[in-house]
């Protein structure tokens, strides 16, 4: 018994232990101590597949709460504070207990709507713009 790569259309589809008389119609059987599933075989030599690049992970932008206060005028800050006092407990705790607003979170959409209704879209976007991280 030896280690055998099972090849179909130039690609190793399985690796098995087989004796010298073993046959598998429709497949090429090649003794190999190194080939693995997914390796390429050109009829003479095995080649490891090129690894796929890691998936791109985009980090959603964030806005530090301190930046919200820095960007707001005194009058805007007073209005924002008043509006925060009106929030339901869940949203208020989310605001109070976080250091920043994650733009993928529902809270940012909620605050954007609240600020847009109060100050207009331009000011809401300026106040909630992503922080330089």
Q: Using DSSP, state whether 28 is helix, strand or coil.
A: strand
Q: Is 92 a member of any domain?
A: yes
Q: Are residues 120 and 78 in the same domain?
A: yes
The closest of 98, 127, 102 to 112, measured between CA atoms, is 127
Q: Are residues 39 and 81 in the same domain?
A: no
Q: How many domains is the chain built from?
A: 2
Q: Could you tell me the two tokens for 59?
A: 């980090």
Residue 133: per-residue pLDDT: 67
- pTM to 2 decimals? 0.57
71: domain range? 62-127
Q: pLDDT tens digits for 81-105? A: 999 999 999 999 999 999 999 999 9
Q: Is 8 a member of any domain?
A: yes
Q: Is 83 a member of any domain?
A: yes
Beta strand spans in 2-127 (E): 2-8, 11-18, 28-31, 40-41, 46-47, 62-64, 100-102
**How buried is 79 (Cβ within 10 angstroms: 0-12 exposed, 13-18 middle, 19+ buried)?**
middle
């Amino acid at each position: 018994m030896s280690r055998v790569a099972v090849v179909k259309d130039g690609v190793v589809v399985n690796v098995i232990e087989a004796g010298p008389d073993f046959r598998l119609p429709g497949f090429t059987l090649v003794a190999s101590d190194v080939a693995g599933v997914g390796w390429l075989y050109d009829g003479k030599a095995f080649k490891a597949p090129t690894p796929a690049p890691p998936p791109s992970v985009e980090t959603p932008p964030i806005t530090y709460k301190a930046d919200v206060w820095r960007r707001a005028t005194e009058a805007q800050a007073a209005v924002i504070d008043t509006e925060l006092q009106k929030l339901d407990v869940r949203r208020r705790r989310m605001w109070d207990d976080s250091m920043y607003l994650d733009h993928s979170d529902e809270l940012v959409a909620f605050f954007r709507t609240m600020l847009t209704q109060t100050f207009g879209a331009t000011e809401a976007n300026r106040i909630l713009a992503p922080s330089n991280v």
